[in-house]
């Protein structure tokens, strides 16, 4: 049996999995992510690898990390959440664990997991949106990750949805991430509840009457109960996601468009408006064969499974 380890370096935790060639996770390990401490993160990754390795014969380690990863998949050029710059993560971890290591962007490992074992399996080309606090993107074309010249392709969250729109952390304005992320959902619901409290009765009840205390979980629950403001907030982000997907379909012509990330746990209250606006935005293109919008199926495990499978390609 061929075993590799996938590790997901998140903002709060370093999670790893021992994964077989069929994408099954046989064991998991977890450490908190040390804040602003590069050496600490590398130590946490090697502890996770050592714990999972046990007596197993491991072939390689794959790491998924948020940020811009160099085209040779060795260096984290910039990771905003971890304050890393030009960090040679691959070589440092490889030295610590004495195994081949590959480093990849977190959304790229997620789409790779879905491509090999999840919702995009069976399609040679696919597009993935990770809708969480921000928006990550991944694109597979003819069974290969679209990585670009410098390793930083498929940053769908930073494509412009609104000319001269909201300011984004990346320095641009009008990025999709500012209109369709979990943060944008919460913002839309809070503003809606303030503007028209009568239409947000259920939502405000859940939030103890305070619009600024509204959370994503409460918006999902309220939408399920038919709360108008909560439904309008999902329609707001669905509009931008659907329109973005229709644009990417013109460019890539994928077999499927996958929606992943924490917000997709909301289910149809998110997917229905995305599909509606997607079909509208496609216009006559919708009459031709065209990708469907589907929810990811591997959930939060996609990153670990995808990273482990990419590591297998090293061997």
Which residue stretch of 8-16, 104-112, 147-155, 169-177 sits at the interface with Zn ion (rule: CB under 5 A)? 169-177
Nearer to Zn ion, 159 or 290 (CB): 159
Nearer to Zn ion, 167 or 268 (CB): 167
Q: Is residue 161 a contact residue for Zn ion (CB under 5 A)?
A: no
Q: Which residues pair with 144 in a beta bridge?
A: 141
Which residue stretch of 168-176, 182-190, 191-199, 298-306 sits at the interface with Zn ion (rule: CB under 5 A)? 168-176
Which residue, chain included where needed, has tokens 């959440």? 81
Q: Which of residues 158, 190, 275, 301 is near Zn ion by CB under 5 A?
A: 158
Nearer to Zn ion, 168 or 271 (CB): 168
Min dist. Cβ of residue 208 to Zn ion (A): 33
310 neighbors 62 (Cβ within 8 angstroms): yes
Min dist. Cβ of residue 168 to Zn ion (A): 3
- Dist. CA 149–CA 267, nearest whole Å: 35
Min dist. Cβ of residue 141 to Zn ion (A): 23
Strands (E), the chain: 3-9, 13-19, 25-32, 58-65, 68-69, 76-79, 84-87, 101-105, 126-131, 135-141, 144-145, 256-260, 292-295
Q: Which residues pair with 257 in a beta bridge?
A: 127, 293
Min dist. Cβ of residue 20 to Zn ion (A): 37
Size of the site for Zn ion (CB under 5 A): 5
Q: Which of residues 168, 231, 308, 311 is near Zn ion by CB under 5 A?
A: 168
Nearer to Zn ion, 62 or 134 (CB): 134
Nearer to Zn ion, 19 or 175 (CB): 175
Min dist. Cβ of residue 80 to Zn ion (A): 11
Nearer to Zn ion, 4 or 244 (CB): 244
Which residue stretch of 10-18, 90-98, 123-131, 165-173 sits at the interface with Zn ion (rule: CB under 5 A)? 165-173
Q: Which of residues 19, 65, 175, 188 is near Zn ion by CB under 5 A?
A: 175
Which residue stretch of 5-13, 83-91, 173-181, 229-237 sits at the interface with Zn ion (rule: CB under 5 A)? 173-181
Token pair of 272 as six digits:
């229905």
- Dist. CA 303–CA 107, nearest whole Å: 8
Q: Is 84 helix (H, G, I), strand (E, B) or coil?
A: strand
| Contact residues for 299 (Cβ-Cβ < 8 A; gap 6+) | none
Min dist. Cβ of residue 181 to Zn ion (A): 10
Which phi-psi region, left, alpha or beta, contains residue 147 (left: φ > 0; alpha: ψ -120 to 50)?
alpha
Q: Is residue 78 a contact residue for Zn ion (CB under 5 A)?
A: no
| Contact residues for 97 (Cβ-Cβ < 8 A; gap 6+) | 45, 46, 49, 50, 53, 61
- Dist. CA 63–CA 105, nearest whole Å: 8
Which residue stretch of 97-105, 161-169, 231-239, 259-267 sits at the interface with Zn ion (rule: CB under 5 A)? 161-169
Min dist. Cβ of residue 177 to Zn ion (A): 5
Give one DSSP letter per residue of 49-67, joined into a string.
HHHHHTT--EEEEEEEESS
Which residue, chain included where needed, has tokens 């409290």? 197
Q: How far is CA 281 from the centre of its chain?
A: 23
Interface with Zn ion (CB under 5 A): 158, 168, 170, 172, 175
């Amino acid at each position: 049996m061929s075993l590799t380890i996938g590790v997901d370096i998140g903002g709060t935790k370093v999670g790893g999995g021992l994964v077989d060639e069929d994408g099954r996770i046989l064991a998991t390990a977890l450490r908190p992510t040390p804040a602003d401490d590069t050496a600490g993160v590398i130590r946490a990754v090697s502890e996770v690898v050592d714990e999972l390795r046990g007596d197993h014969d491991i072939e390689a380690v794959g790491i998924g990390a948020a940020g811009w990863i160099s085209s040779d998949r060795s260096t984290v050029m910039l990771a905003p959440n971890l304050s890393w710059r030009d960090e040679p993560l691959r070589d440092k971890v490889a030295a610590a664990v004495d195994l081949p290591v590959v480093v990849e962007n977190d959304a790229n490992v997620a789409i790779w997991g879905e491509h090999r074992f999840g919702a995009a399996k069976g399609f040679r080309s696919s597009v993935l949106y990770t809708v969480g606090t921000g928006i990550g993107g991944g694109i597979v074309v003819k069974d290969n990750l679209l990585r670009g010249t410098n390793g930083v392709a498929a940053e769908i969250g930073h494509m412009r949805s609104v000319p001269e729109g909201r300011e984004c952390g990346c320095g641009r304005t009008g990025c999709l991430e500012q209109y369709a992320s979990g943060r944008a959902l919460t913002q839309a619901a809070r503003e809606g509840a303030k503007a028209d409290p009568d239409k947000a009765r259920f939502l405000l009840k859940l939030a103890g009457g305070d619009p600024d205390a509204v959370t994503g979980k409460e918006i999902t629950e309220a939408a399920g109960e038919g709360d108008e403001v909560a439904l309008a907030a999902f329609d707001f982000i669905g509009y931008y996601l659907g329109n973005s997907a229709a644009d990417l379909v013109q460019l890539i012509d994928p077999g499927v468009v996958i929606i992943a990330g924490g917000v997709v746990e909301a289910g149809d209250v998110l997917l229905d408006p995305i599909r509606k606006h997607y079909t509208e935005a496609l216009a006559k293109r919708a009459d031709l064969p065209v990708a469907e919008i589907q929810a990811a199926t591997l959930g939060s495990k996609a990153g670990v499974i995808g990273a482990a499978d990419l590591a297998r390609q090293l061997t």
